[in-house]
Amino acid sequence: MTDSAYSKESGHPELEKLEDGTEVRHVFERGDHSDETSIGEIQGGHIVYSGEKHSPTSAARAALRDIRGEGYETNGWEWWQYDVDGEWVNLEEVRE
């Protein structure tokens, strides 16, 4: 399933597997922004980032824009992580 299953109204069915309030994050590990962290939250099948509802990829692009500026693309399912029993795993694992 891709972000094409996402709608602003209903969210993404795969994200609905996570409880509302689940924190998602991305920690920048290299470059000028090393150790900076972007944080979002799951709400109703969306990632809420900076107060707005997004698909995983849209949220990742918004976070990248805030930290690094324009012109960066990424796959949000691989970019965001969430905590599973104390271990941060890629969001794409919720799709398995």
Q: How far is CA 64 from the centre of its chain?
A: 11
pTM for the structure as a whole: 0.83
In which band, very low, low, confident or very high, does the pLDDT at 57 lie, cut at 50, 70 and 90? very high
Residues 6+ away with beta carbon under 8 Å from 75: 56, 57, 60
* Mean pLDDT computed over every residue of the chain: 86
C-alpha neighbours within 13 Å on the C-beta side of residue 51: 0
Of residues 22 and 27, which shows the higher confidence score? 22
In which band, very low, low, confident or very high, does the pLDDT at 6 lie, cut at 50, 70 and 90? low
Q: Which of 68, 64, 73 is CA-nearest to residue 26?
A: 64
* CA-to-CA dists, residue 11 to 14, 24, 25, 46, angstroms: 9, 16, 18, 5
Domain boundaries, the chain: 3-88
